[in-house]
Amino acid sequence: MYKGDDHIVDTMDGLKFRIGPKSFYQTNTKQSLVLYRTAKEFAGLTGREIVYDLYTGAGTIANFVADSATKVIGIEYIEEAVKDAVINSRINNIKNTSFFTGDIKSVLNNQFISSNGRPDVIITDPPRAGMEKDVVDSIIEAGPEKVVYVSCNPSTQARDIALMSEQYRVTKIQPIDMFPHTHHVENVILLEKNVG
């Protein structure tokens, strides 16, 4: 027989996050705050933007940036994580987020964008394997002014950015040491739409 809660709760910048066993959450919580603040700073939100948060997990980044956006749309393929994301918005009294479950390459299409609004900013934080080419193509098709790419694997991040290089240029890079005493880093890159 098991006893205890079926989740943990962490607090970051005054926000509470409920994390279930199938939801992704950064293991180094002190550096997570640095990571999320960096992603938010790179997004440069003014309060008027529609933000898409791809691979949203338990909605940590989506909820973290929601106070600076008109609307935040989170997409995640793990249903239990999306349930946590919805709960996290509710317990933090955040009302401008919406979360969707499904494979991002299938969900992020023209019909989805016309229903939810064209993103001004996309924040993406994929798993180590990076984004599938179909997802990269969907981001390019959506045409946000900025893409904030958070990655725990700079090599797949570089591969994906190369696929976007005709439409987007890298304007900021900030590695964050999430795993001290190892060679692993979390890397945040800001891509901005090429002009002309």
Q: How far apart are CA 14 and CA 177, in angstroms?
A: 23
66 has catalytic annotation: no
DSSP strands (E only) in 46-185 = 50-54, 71-76, 97-101, 121-124, 146-151, 168-176
Q: How far apart are CA 79 and CA 139, in angstroms?
A: 22
Chain CA centroid to CA 172, Å: 17
Task: Confirm if 123 and 188 have CB atoms less than 8 A apart.
Answer: no
Active-site residue, selected from the candidate residues 50, 85, 152, 188: 152
Active site residues per annotation: 152
